[in-house]
């Protein structure tokens, strides 16, 4: 039988010091690391029970999925704070343990200022708000009156030999487009990647249009889309609405949308047309709803006075998707809202964070440790991005970060550790620790990735990311507490503690290594090129901030650095990550273009760089 390491009197791990520059540079000396009796790390069965209690509460109906801005999210934060207090940890930077900030979670119609009408030579027909049309969450506010152009599916992709805007002028026009793509039923069709309304709105804007009205066409029921907040916010300078096809066709007799859709699909060619002798007037007035949410931060001093400026950050996000629904990130097949309990994602990591704090409070490291429960990770790493932008401790005093996200499904002993290449001692250390446990370790060298450690790696900190992998319950209501493998999670917590016993007590801190550029999963499906940067997903009033630049990537070669704010890529003005991805999709390997960024402590120094997207090897 496998005896938990906590029940052994001692364990020794031999690691060559030549692989541990944070220990010393002696190439012939062998490091003896002793993990003393497990009374210092507690018994496995006790920890397993506590892990289950943490997860069971955090993933309960009471907390309703822990979405930022909800009562459940507040209760989760308070639970983490109370556990930190019970353990004896102190707050750091804020007396109540909470680092509060605001995020936008919803958008609503203002009482006045939303209208749509069709104007012919003799009369004006009003279209009914909420019944026949609705503004969409990506719309800017404003009023326009313009000529009308029907632009098919609103797709412009000359490389795919399809362009709904070819041969028509939409400058200062209101453009009507159909939802979807001409090849919507073909999963291998390339035009489907341009089907999102945000891309269509940005394309119309680039062509000079003032507003975009989307209609259902023949692919979707003739019903209105819901007004909801879209991550990434508005398309700056564009009014975007959804209207019923039947109403538009009735008020514009020359426009037969179904017939034109049939022509497009039959001929595989655009069928765009300008509408003569008619105009549209529309206005949009939306109001964003912001809510407060908080990271939870606690601090454990180190025992070595000479290492107090070498803090280790241990983190896990505690937010999830709430009740799901459109725009939440849910992968549920049904449209009906239901509590997304988020037991593995990421009540498991939060429980691991609490138990790591509990163990270290009994046996502190030489180096201090900061424990952070991050909020709003599911909305684009917003909690960790806020922390590294407004740290409660100097970033220079942080020597590394360990992240636990989804550590509750140790199926067949498979555990992935990310960031293994961000410090030279990490792999031999994890190899040695892994050999003591019934685990099958796989490694990812890169420090970037889809969780909060990426925010710290972008600030040039070594990182480790513990992760047991995706599963069929991911981002679904079926991710529940009884499916967590608590013995396996306890094992992972112990591996984290063993890792900390080395890096937290060695004579030298881990040195940072910038991992060479590697392709991001799924990137080839959407983009032909990459800059090799990590965007900050939080809103910035001037553009899109860069949190990290990959070594050897096109961006680094062009001169981009962390904290640059991209305001223009090629001819596209950049306001957020969606503008950036839209602009990126226009280029192919071998293309060269300009990038304009803002730099400096006041973000007011404008710098233009030249980038060439490399050919694939």
- Please choose, from the candidates 539, 567, 547, the residue with its C-alpha nearest in 3D space to the C-alpha of residue 231: 539
Whether 10 has a pLDDT exceeding 50, the answer reads no
Token pair, residue 164, equals 């709904």
Residues in the chain: 617
pLDDT band at 29 (very low <50, low <70, confident <90, very high): very low
Whether 101 has a pLDDT exceeding 50, the answer reads yes
Q: How far is residue 175 from each of residues 37, 138, 200, 240, 371, measured CA to CA in Å?
A: 71, 16, 10, 10, 51
Residue-wise pLDDT tens digits, 533-549: 878 766 677 898 887 78
Burial zone of 128 (CB within 10 Å; 0-12 exposed, 13-18 middle, 19+ buried): exposed
- Please choose, from the candidates 70, 65, 75, the residue with its C-alpha nearest in 3D space to the C-alpha of residue 321: 65
- Report helix, strand or coil for 34: strand
φ/ψ region of 415 (left if φ > 0, alpha if ψ in -120 to 50, else beta) reads beta
Q: Which residues contact 187 (CB under 8 A, 6 or more apart)?
A: none
Q: Which of 20-24, 135-139, 174-178, 481-485 is least confident?
A: 20-24
φ/ψ region of 559 (left if φ > 0, alpha if ψ in -120 to 50, else beta) reads left
Cis peptide before 346 (omega within 30 of 0): yes
Q: In the chain, where are the structural domains located?
A: 5-105+290-503, 113-284, 525-612
Residue-wise pLDDT tens digits, 146-194: 999 999 999 998 888 999 999 999 999 999 999 999 975 555 567 888 8
- pLDDT in the model for residue 539: 65
Residue-wise pLDDT tens digits, 219-247: 899 999 999 988 778 999 999 999 999 99
Q: Which residues contact 53 (CB under 8 A, 6 or more apart)?
A: none
| DSSP H or E segment with residue 554 | helix 554-558
- Confirm or reject CATH 1.10.3720.10 for domain 5-105+290-503, answering yes or no: no
pTM of this structure: 0.78
Q: Are 565 and 542 in contact (CB under 8 A)?
A: yes
> Rounded to an integer, what is the distance from CA 418 to the centroid of its chain?
17
- Please choose, from the candidates 441, 484, 342, 462, the residue with its C-alpha nearest in 3D space to the C-alpha of residue 52: 484
Q: Are 291 and 102 in contact (CB under 8 A)?
A: yes
Pairwise CA distance, residues 221 & 207, whole Å = 28
Please work out, in degrees rounded to the nearest 5, the angle formed at the alpha carbon of residue 342 by the alpha carbons of 79 and 457.
Answer: 80
CATH number of 525-612: 2.30.42.10
Please work out, in degrees rounded to the nearest 5, the angle formed at the alpha carbon of residue 28 by the alpha carbons of 23 and 34.
Answer: 50
Pairwise CA distance, residues 319 & 325, whole Å = 16
Residue-wise pLDDT tens digits, 353-408: 999 999 999 999 999 999 999 999 999 899 999 999 999 999 999 999 999 999 99
Fold adopted by 113-284: Glucose Oxidase; domain 1 (3.50.30)
Residue 169 backbone dihedrals phi, psi, to 5 degrees: -110, 115
- pLDDT in the model for residue 23: 45
- pLDDT in the model for residue 616: 57
What is the DSSP pairing of strand 142-150 with strand 273-284? antiparallel
Neighbours of 184 (CB within 10 A): 19
Interval 276-298 mean pLDDT: 96
């Amino acid at each position: 039988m496998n005896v938990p390491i906590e029940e052994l009197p001692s364990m020794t791990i031999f690691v060559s010091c030549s692989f541990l520059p944070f220990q010393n540079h002696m190439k012939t000396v062998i490091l003896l690391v002793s993990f003393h009796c497990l009374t210092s790390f507690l018994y496995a069965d006790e920890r397993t029970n506590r892990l289950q209690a943490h997860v069971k509460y955090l993933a309960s109906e009471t907390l309703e999925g822990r979405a930022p801005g909800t009562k459940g999210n507040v209760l989760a934060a308070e639970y983490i704070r109370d556990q930190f207090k019970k353990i004896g940890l102190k707050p750091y930077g804020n007396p109540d343990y909470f680092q509060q900030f605001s995020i936008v979670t919803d958008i609503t119609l203002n009482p006045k200022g939303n209208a749509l009408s069709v104007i012919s030579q003799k009369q004006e027909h009003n279209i009914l708000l909420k019944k026949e049309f609705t503004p969409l969450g990506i719309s800017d506010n404003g009023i326009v009156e313009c000529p009308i152009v029907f632009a098919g599916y609103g797709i412009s992709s000359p490389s795919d030999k399809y362009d709904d805007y070819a041969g028509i002028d939409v400058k200062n026009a209101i453009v009507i487009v159909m939802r979807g793509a001409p090849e919507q039923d073909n999963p291998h069709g390339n035009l489907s990647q341009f089907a999102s309304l945000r891309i269509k709105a940005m394309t119309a804007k680039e062509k000079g249009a003032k507003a975009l009205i989307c209609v259902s066409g023949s692919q979707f029921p003739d019903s209105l889309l819901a007004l909801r907040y879209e991550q990434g916010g508005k398309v700056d300078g564009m009014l975007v609405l959804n209207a019923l096809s039947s109403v538009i066709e009735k008020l514009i007799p020359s426009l037969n949308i179904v017939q034109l859709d049939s022509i497009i699909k039959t001929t595989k060619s655009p069928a765009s047309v300008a509408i003569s002798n008619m105009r549209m007037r529309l206005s949009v007035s939306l109001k964003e709803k912001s809510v407060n949410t908080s990271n939870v931060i606690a601090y454990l001093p180190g025992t070595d006075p000479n290492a107090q400026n070498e803090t280790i950050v241990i983190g896990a996000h505690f937010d999830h998707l709430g009740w799901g629904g459109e725009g939440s990130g849910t992968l549920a097949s049904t449209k009906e809202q239901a509590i997304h309990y988020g037991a593995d994602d990421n009540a498991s990591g939060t429980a691991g964070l609490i138990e790591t704090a509990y163990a270290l409070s009994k046996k502190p490291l030489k180096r201090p440790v900061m424990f952070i429960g991050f909020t709003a990770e599911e909305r684009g790493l917003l909690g960790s991005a806020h922390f590294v932008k407004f740290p409660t401790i100097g970033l220079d005093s942080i020597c590394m970060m360990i992240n636990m996200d989804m550590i509750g499904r140790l199926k067949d002993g498979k555990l992935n550790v990310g960031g293994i290449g961000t410090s030279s001692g990490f792999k031999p250390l994890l190899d040695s620790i892994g050999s003591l446990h019934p685990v099958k370790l796989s490694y990812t060298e890169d420090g970037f990735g889809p969780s909060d450690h990426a925010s710290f790696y972008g600030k040039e900190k070594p990182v480790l990311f513990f992760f047991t992998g995706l599963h069929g319950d991911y981002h679904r209501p079926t991710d529940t507490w009884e499916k967590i493998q608590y013995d396996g999670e306890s094992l992972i917590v112990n591996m984290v503690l063993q890792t900390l016993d080395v890096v937290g007590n060695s004579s030298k801190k881990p040195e940072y290594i910038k991992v060479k550029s590697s392709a991001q999963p799924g990137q080839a499906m959407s983009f032909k090129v990459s800059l090799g940067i990590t965007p900050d997903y939080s809103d910035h009033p001037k553009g899109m901030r860069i949190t990290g630049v990959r070594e050897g990537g096109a961006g680094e070669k062009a001169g981009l650095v962390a904290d640059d704010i991209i305001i223009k890529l090629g001819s596209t003005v950049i306001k957020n990550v969606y503008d950036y991805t839209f602009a990126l999709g226009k280029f192919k390997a071998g293309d060269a273009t300009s990038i304009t960024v803002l730099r400096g402590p006041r973000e007011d120094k404008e710098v233009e760089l030249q980038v060439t997207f490399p050919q694939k090897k």
